[in-house]
Structure 1
């Protein structure tokens, strides 16, 4: 997984290969999420319910956000995340599921109430988004109106993530996955280094 993210980092920064690596972004998302779920050791009905909830809420809130501009702000999706349905790539629902699951597993280790764990996990989500946003447009993930990222976006990310993480911590399923912190860290480093590479150009 680290090699896959490293190859993507280099490939997306080189003009000669950027277009080809953008075509691979959807496959990277599917493979990463697939491996993450493969490492989940105990599948039961509550876990399946969480997966369905995270996917549908994540995708649904993006559809509502793109169409109205009232949730995250005014933005549109590019082509790099794959085909669109209702102006939003369905893969974004899978990405919400994977990221909420990762931050849920990481926050589950805290000696705190489930509400505090949901808050900590939502904070981790916003930290990641803080580094995603500056490179999302250059990578053709999504584009903000007037190239301005509104504070509203980060607040909405926190609220949506908190609701999904509250469900994660409330439902009775196993909250351990040794791949989750590595995937979160790989994603974080990928976007931090992409941003750094952009500064150095």
Structure 2
């Protein structure tokens, strides 16, 4: 009887070249369907309900392309998740950091009035923008500033979309303090990204950020 491993490994290597195009295709397909559903289907609430699934799928694909799942990466992921999540907890309950806001039902299960997926979203954004900023030949601090700026850029287009589709809601207009708070929390996490010695090559990270940016810009201009 042949060794299964001796068969599986060559097969996996043969089809590995298709993994990235397939992942990109899935990302584009799911975001494209979501875009159409929210704007043109006539049933935006139906497609809103699939927002957590879309976010989980995006993260699953992204981190499937991360290599070297060692303790340094796991600790990084847990710390970024925790800081992102608890900064939102503080924000929701005190109005500090970002301003006065509350979360709707779209993003799913909440703990202390904050969806658990928000911590995962912080991790995804820090990770992808950190990889993009590493493309620049800059000192680590400037890379961290660039990564934080990319996060704020995306958030600028997310905010009006989020309030329209019940991700979260503001008490009044979207305050400037939100973007200032986002920048400083993002900068802290980007500095951590630059200083940690985990493996920092992920071919899908650039695509994930770009797809998110195009998706939210598209929704933004149609509001």
Could you state the TM-score of these two structures normalised by the residue count of structure 2?
0.86
**More deviation in 73-82 or 12-21?**
12-21
Residue 44 of structure 1 deviates from its aligned partner by: 1.6
Task: Give the whole-Å Cα distance in 2 for the aligned partners of 1:51 and 1:186.
Answer: 22
Task: Give the whole-Å Cα distance in 2 for the aligned partners of 1:45 and 1:107.
Answer: 23
Task: Give the whole-Å Cα distance in 2 for the aligned partners of 1:196 and 1:10.
Answer: 14
Aligned residue pairs: how many? 197
- Note the 1:150-165 alignment, pairs <5 A: 150-165=175-190
Q: 2:66 aligns with which of 36, 40, 43?
A: 40
Q: 1:168 aligns with which of 193, 199, 218?
A: 193
Task: Give the whole-Å Cα distance in 2 for the aligned partners of 1:171 and 1:127.
Answer: 24
Q: What corresponds to 2:213 in structure 1?
A: 188
RMSD value, Cα: 0.9
**More deviation in 111-120 or 94-103?**
111-120
Residue 50 (structure 1) aligned with residue 62 (structure 2)? no
For the residue of structure 2 that corresponds to 1:175, the secondary structure is coil
Q: 2:163 aligns with which of 137, 143, 150?
A: 137
Residue ranges of structure 1 left out of the alignment (5+ in a row): none
**More deviation in 176-185 or 14-23?**
14-23
Task: Give the whole-Å Cα distance in 1 for the aligned partners of 2:197 and 2:69.
Answer: 11
Q: Which has the larger radius of gyration?
A: 2
Deviations 1:27-79 (A, max 9, x none): 11111011111101222211111100110001000000000001100001011
Task: Give the whole-Å Cα distance in 1 for the aligned partners of 2:111 and 2:54.
Answer: 19
**More deviation in 13-22 or 64-73?**
13-22
Task: Give the whole-Å Cα distance in 1 for the aligned partners of 2:43 and 2:80.
Answer: 33
Residue 139 of structure 1 deviates from its aligned partner by: 1.0
Task: Give the whole-Å Cα distance in 1 for the aligned partners of 2:43 and 2:203.
Answer: 32
Moved over 3 A (4+): none
Q: What corresponds to 2:22 in structure 1?
A: none
Q: 2:36 aligns with which of 3, 10, 19?
A: 10
Task: Give the whole-Å Cα distance in 1 for the aligned partners of 2:56 and 2:178.
Answer: 25
Task: Give the whole-Å Cα distance in 1 for the aligned partners of 2:134 and 2:38.
Answer: 34
Task: Give the whole-Å Cα distance in 1 for the aligned partners of 2:64 and 2:136.
Answer: 24
Could you state the TM-score of these two structures normalised by the residue count of structure 1?
0.95
Q: 1:61 aligns with which of 69, 72, 87?
A: 87
